[in-house]
Amino acid sequence: MNNPGYGTDVILEYVQSCKAKASDRIAAETSESLAGPSGFDWVPLPRCELHLYNIRHIQHHAAQLSVCLRRSTGEGVEWRGTGWPND
């Protein structure tokens, strides 16, 4: 497969960074902040639902990336697990 410059180590480091940021952000939420507005006028959802909306959005883009990689290289993306401790 033609490597566009993002090796496995770089991608896994980025994933770890994203997971740490998400964990920190979610840990900082309170019942009050989760019940409050999303913070974006164009997303009329409570902040709690915004987190779910974002997860779905990320899944959508990950699927698009997987399709693009398969079409351009003929290879799929290997399953790496969730990365959570019990996985």
Question: Model confidence over 23-55: pLDDT tens digits?
Answer: 998 899 999 999 999 999 998 999 999 989 988
Backbone angles phi, psi at 29, to 5 degrees: -70, 150
Separation of alpha carbons 17 and 14, rounded Å: 5
Token pair of 84 as six digits: 């959570």
Which residues are within 8 A (CB) of 53 and not within 5 positions of it... i.e. 6 or more apart?
Answer: 43, 45
For residue 87, name the pLDDT band (cuts at 50, 70, 90).
Answer: low
Give the integer Cα–Cα distance in Å for 29 and 14.
23
- pLDDT at position 27: 94
pTM beyond 0.85, yes or no: no
Q: Is 46 helix (H, G, I), strand (E, B) or coil?
A: strand
User: What is the predicted pLDDT for the residue at 22?
Assistant: 87
